[in-house]
Amino acid sequence: MTTSKAVIKIEDLHHSYGPKKIYAGLNLEIAPGTVFGLLGKNGVGKSTLINILMGYLQPAYGQCMIFDEPSHQLTAPTRQKIALLYEGFTSYDYMTIDQVERFFAPFYPCWKKRLFYDLVSLMDVKPGQKLSTLSFGQKSQVVLGLLFAQDAELLILDDYSMGLDAGYRSLLVDYLKNYIHNTDKTVLITSHVMSDLENLVDQIAIVDRSTDVYCDSMANFCQHFNCFATSGRQEANGAIHRVEQGHNTTRLYSFQDQETVEAQIGKKVTPVAVSFEERFLGFVGKY
């Protein structure tokens, strides 16, 4: 069980690739038992942050702590508390499902064989099948079963949805909810499929190309980041975060309410009901 202290604590993080700034003064904390979504379009630094957290990269400046240890100096006992699914996972295609479970088990002191087979049993496969005979989605579920079987306190899932169809994504989200229910397990997750996350994630950080990172609860973001429709052209200003110009309508995205937006732009707007994915794209931009 974890303590009440932050599982992950990032203070004044700066990182760049040459002249390209990725993070500039990032601060965030992830409390025990939180499902935290690290969101953003491709190339904004989501995997970079995970590389820093796992000690594969050392930041230019600032501090990242995991379980109260510097991320680039994690001890073996602390690493045993972390289960990592890295984007573009490796699978041992020449092994059977049974063989790959037996291969991984000795590396993890808290290994729970049952958790592996709980997930694998939800697919129409046989334990003696080689991974080379499985579809990409089935193979991904086997890899995720290996991750859950580690029974780690912190799960880091970097783009878990890559290559999975809607059915496998839904299966995983339901399984993950049940897996962490009534536990202090903490999850850091990245995904390009926003529709999966709305009823899964507690807290979010949205990374864009400006080095600014928006951090809040999922509930607050969905409640306070509004979409309005209006006529004619409109430029972004202090009250309007982003403008989407369509053929017949203009959409305005703002953290302000309808009255404030109308006062700012001097004309009427109409509230538009939008999904979390539409809000996310309204925040970061479609292109």
Residues 6 or more apart whose Cβ sits within 8 Å of residue 121: none
Look up the pTM and report it. 0.89
d(CA 124, CA 133): 12
- Strands of 213-217's sheet in order across: 82-85, 154-158, 186-190, 35-39, 203-207, 213-217
d(CA 28, CA 8): 8
Beta-bridge mates of residue 96: 130
Find, among 185, 156, 182, the residue nearest to 34 by Cα: 185
pLDDT of residue 47: 87
Contact between residue 153 and residue 81 where contact means Cβ atoms under 8 Å apart? yes
Find, among 85, 63, 275, the residue nearest to 189 by Cα: 85
Report the residue count for the chain.
287
d(CA 249, CA 219): 28
Beta-bridge mates of residue 8: 30, 66
The CATH 3.40.50.300 portion of the chain extends over 1-81+153-168+184-217
pLDDT of residue 175: 86
Q: CATH number of 1-81+153-168+184-217: 3.40.50.2300, 2.40.50.100, 3.40.50.300, 2.40.30.10?
A: 3.40.50.300
d(CA 233, CA 236): 10
Structure tokens at 17: 């690739």
pLDDT of residue 89: 67
Contact between residue 46 and residue 158 where contact means Cβ atoms under 8 Å apart? yes
d(CA 160, CA 166): 12
| Blockwise average pLDDT, block size 10, the chain, 287 residues | 74 90 90 93 84 90 93 92 81 92 94 93 89 88 91 90 74 86 92 81 87 90 94 81 85 94 90 93 86
Beta-bridge mates of residue 189: 37, 157
Structure tokens at 170: 């839904």
Element (H, E) at 259: helix 258-265
pLDDT of residue 41: 80
Find, among 84, 89, 146, 87, the residue nearest to 113 by Cα: 146
